[in-house]
Amino acid sequence: DAGVTQSPTHLIKTRGQQVTLRCSPKSGHDTVSWYQQALGQGPQFIFQYYEEEERQRGNFPDRFSGHQFPNYSSELNVNALLLGDSALYLCASRVVVGQETQYFGPGTRLLVL
């Protein structure tokens, strides 16, 4: 049973560029959430997708956007990258009905120069 997978594992971008990160949820899961984890900090909630719609959003600017596909996989897009966007980006998945447990992927480490 495959767990949550994310790609790429590492990424280096320069300020002002755009980036797309990808996530495939655990088998049987239909809800995907994205978190940003700065070095030495706890993960911060960005947004959550269910049935291809954004259901909840944290305190992140509109430069952060996402998408969920019919197969439940998801993308996180960040435009106009800032140095402060350097972080580990984590994807978590769950089954929306009856289960609160969220399973995290290994993350994508983004470095903005």
Partner 1 sequence: GENVEQHPSTLSVQEGDSAVIKCTYSDSASNYFPWYKQELGKGPQLIIDIRSNVGEKKDQRIAVTLNKTAKHFSLHITETQPEDSAVYFCAASINTGTASKLTFGTGTRLQVTL
Residues that bind partner 1 (CB under 8 A): 4, 31, 33, 35, 40-45, 48, 50, 55-56, 58, 90, 92, 94, 96-97, 100-107
Question: Which residue, 22 or 103, has its beta carbon nearer to partner 1?
Answer: 103
Q: At closest approach, how far in Å is the CB of 15 from partner 1?
A: 25
All residues at 6 or more sequence positions from 107 whose CB lies less than 8 Å from its CB, including other chains: 6, 9, 37, 88, 89, 90, 91
Q: Which is nearer to partner 1, 1 or 100 (CB)?
A: 100
Least spacing, CB of residue 51 vs partner 1, in Å: 8
Question: Cβ 91 to partner 1, closest distance in Å?
Answer: 8
Residue 5 vs residues 29, 47, 92, 99, 113: alpha-carbon distances, Å: 12, 18, 9, 20, 26
- Residues in a beta bridge with 5: 24
Give, rounded to a whole angstrom, the gap between the first and last alpha carbons of the chain: 37
Coil vs helix vs strand at 84? helix
CB-nearer residue toward partner 1: 14 or 21:
21
Whichever of 18 and 97 has its CB closer to partner 1, that residue is 97
